[in-house]
Amino acid sequence: MRNSYTGSGQLREVRSGPTDELLWRVEDVDGLDRVTTESFGNGTITQRSYDPLREFTRTIETSSELGGTLQSLAYQWNPEGTLERREDLIHGQHETFEYDFLHRVASVHTTHAQQTHERHFAYDSLGNLVFATDRGEYEYDADGRLAVADGSGHEWDGNGNLLARTGARPATLAYTAFDKPAELDGHAGLIAFEYDADQDRVYRYSEADARETIYVTELYQRHRDELTGEIQHHYYVPGIERIVASVVDTDDGVNATRTTHYLHVDHLGSTDTVSDELGVVEQRMSFDVWGKRRDAEDWSLPDEFAQLGAVNLGYTGHEAQEDGGLLNMGGRMYDPQLGRMAGADPFVVAPNSTQGWNRYAYVLNQPLSRTDPSGFEPTGAPPEAGGDEQSSGADPPRGASGMVGVGQTNQGTLSNNGMRQGGSSQARANQGAGEQGPGAGGKPPRGDGLPGGPSISGMIAGFMLDGVKSLTPGAGVTTPHPLEGFTDSMLPNEGPSQERRRLNVSAETADRVSQVMQDPPTYVVISIEITLFMIGGDAEAVGALIEGGAQVVARRGGKEALPLVAGVLKKEGKKGASAGKGGTPGSRPGQPFTPAGKQEVWANATKNGGVAKCDNCGVEVVKPQRHQAGVSPPRNEGHVDHVIRRRNGGSGTPENGQILCRDCNLEKL
């Protein structure tokens, strides 16, 4: 193949090497370099339109002179960035979607021929599906792994890999040393896999149809039918971000032929229509909300007898071949019937979000707006190291992007040399339930939390900030998240004891939060004042106040600091209700303390016994004296500081004042 590029290095067109025939060309792009018009070697033309201010696809139209309109899709998006409606104009059908407050899909309404089919979904607090209309209830074991769903039982190994599934879709699996399937035995017979040194699949053999497949990267597959001797060579043609065509050479021992198939995809990169060399529809494909194949001409009907077509690409651009009902997504296998991964994710894909800690949930339960190109990380989610709060998985999705030899089997044990058998070569700590594992580095935060973890009160403030952000999408609240660093008390790769410990920690944390929440007046005050800010639309002020409140709570260690936070919130709430961000005259937002104000803070600090103490470390402090050259001030010299920082709008009034010793003032937690 021969590629041509623009002067700026952007791919312009792809041609067949031997014949120089056009396979694909970019005809036009918008101001953000998104392809708006593309043409194919069979004369078909695809036109796309996008939201002018966001990344979302609005329409996809594909047509040819001989085939007419091949594809006509339309999309509508919510302000939060979730898909509200998608429509197939050719077949007169559409779907509408509803979401919960964490942007997880909650219901799907599919309409065809004036008949509407509804599906509803429910989740627990960790992002596990607990109910689906057409699957029933989902049950989980003590380690949080799926036990029963859709009438099938599930068994898992120590590394979190699916070992067996019973019921109507029976299957047993064995794994390599790096947690990739080595064998899968299902109702269609035994299937074997092999991998290269990079852990990429290079070989598949199915006993049922005596068919073997050899893979070379994502651009070539060789299929050989041992019964007929026929060999097919599939060459996949990459365009911008996705595969645009498949060239297939077939040799049956008598004749050798070449055919070209052109791919037209939906907004997720899933194959929607395949056209032949004449520009006529050759195959249509469609997938439900979780990626299960369905009738392309009637979305309300499943496609139970779907056959593998000429192109082995399907949902979100992954391999269309299903083995035991599972899709190969590279890093892990995915079950579109249940909407869950068949293996545990070795990474925390969104550490700032409660949903990002679920090791089996598919793309944070946002399958209409995110994809998982690698099988390990959804698009739009930050790496395990974290990132700013706006890019975390707790935020609304910002648009669909993405698509673009067998080791020994084991049960998740350790080898003699201490290397972890499955998923990572890192030696796992010898850790039992309740023991603290090695952290990700860094100093453990202070507070009343678990060893090495954040304070419970700080976590409460973090979840409060999550709530504010979910209620005010796009409001621009970018304050550092109090949950950052929570990974310090967890292992990147969990064994059974570690996974059980994480669940126990979650339960213990929930119990302690419930105990702290038994002080209703404080929390009622905080809740009411935040609500007043929300009614006034001042979401950024709320974020700043909660950040300051979380810092105070973390420093002062629990419930005794909450009345102070409540008082500050109450005062700031009154100012915001009457005068917006600026506050009332005399409130001094973002200003230093006056000399009289400092004296009042000192007076308040010495009311109890006439002794002033540092509000952070508790050491007894003295008032600062005029500094002399060459003489260091005493360590216990006290300074008046803002509770809610000036940069966050904290006022320079005594109600927002605290006393810090010299060390704590320099440390500025």
Q: What's the whole-number mean pLDDT along residues 426-441?
A: 32
Q: What's the whole-number mean pLDDT along residues 516-521?
A: 50
Distance CA 517, CA 175 (A): 46
What does the pLDDT read at residue 509? 60
Q: Residues 6 or more apart from 603 whose CB is under 8 A from it?
A: none
> By three-state DSSP, how is residue 620 classified?
strand
**Inter-CA distances, 562 with 471, 516, 520, 522, Å:** 23, 10, 11, 7
Q: What's the whole-number mean pLDDT along residues 131-139?
A: 95
The residue with greater pLDDT, 138 or 505, is 138
What does the pLDDT read at residue 627? 63
The secondary structure of residue 99, as a DSSP letter, is: E
| The CATH fold of domain 2-391 | RHS repeat-associated core (2.180.10)
- How many CA atoms are closer than 13 Å to the CA of 620, on its beta-carbon side? 4
- pLDDT above 90 coverage of the chain, percent: 49
For residue 358, the one-letter residue type is: N
Q: What's the whole-number mean pLDDT along residues 646-668?
A: 79
Own/partner pairs, 295-300, CB within 8 angstroms, 24+ separation: 296/91, 296/272, 297/91, 298/91, 298/93, 298/112, 298/113, 299/88, 299/93, 299/95, 299/110, 299/112, 300/93, 300/110, 300/112, 300/115, 300/117
DSSP 532-568: HHHHTT-HHHHHHHHHHHHHHHHHHTSGGGHHHHHHH
What does the pLDDT read at residue 472? 42
**Does the pLDDT value for residue 531 go beyond 90?**
no
- Domain segments of the chain: what residues? 2-391, 434-587, 589-669
Q: What's the whole-number mean pLDDT along residues 342-365?
A: 92
The residue with greater pLDDT, 72 or 16, is 72
**Does the pLDDT value for residue 92 go beyond 70?**
yes
**Does the pLDDT value for residue 140 go beyond 60?**
yes
What does the pLDDT read at residue 284? 96
The residue with greater pLDDT, 435 or 538, is 538
**Does the pLDDT value for residue 547 go beyond 70?**
no
Using CA of residue 471, residue 474, residue 477, residue 482, what is the dihedral sign? positive
144-158, 262-276, 297-311, 508-522: segment of lowest average pLDDT:
508-522
**Inter-CA distances, 600 with 85, 594, 660, Å:** 59, 10, 15
**Does the pLDDT value for residue 59 go beyond 50?**
yes
Confidence band, pLDDT 50/70/90 cuts, at residue 445:
very low
- Rounded to a whole number of angstroms, the distance between the first and last alpha carbons of the chain is 59
Confidence band, pLDDT 50/70/90 cuts, at residue 496:
low
> By three-state DSSP, how is residue 50 classified?
strand
Q: What is the mean pLDDT of the chain?
A: 77
**Does the pLDDT value for residue 111 go beyond 80?**
yes
| Length of the chain measured in residues | 669
The residue with greater pLDDT, 211 or 461, is 211
* The pair of three-digit structure tokens given for residue 103, joined into one six-digit string: 């942007």
- pLDDT above 70 coverage of the chain, percent: 67
**Chain centre distance of CA 358:** 10
**Does the pLDDT value for residue 173 go beyond 50?**
yes
The residue with greater pLDDT, 506 or 279, is 279
Confidence band, pLDDT 50/70/90 cuts, at residue 490:
very low
The residue with greater pLDDT, 433 or 108, is 108
What does the pLDDT read at residue 655? 85
**Inter-CA distances, 199 with 217, 222, 644, Å:** 11, 19, 51
**Does the pLDDT value for residue 226 go beyond 70?**
yes
**Does the pLDDT value for residue 609 go beyond 80?**
no
Q: Residues 6 or more apart from 350 whose CB is under 8 A from it?
A: 356, 364, 381, 382, 392, 393, 394
Residue pair 177/185 in contact by the 8 Å Cβ criterion:
no
Span 455-467, pLDDT tens digits = 444 444 444 544 4
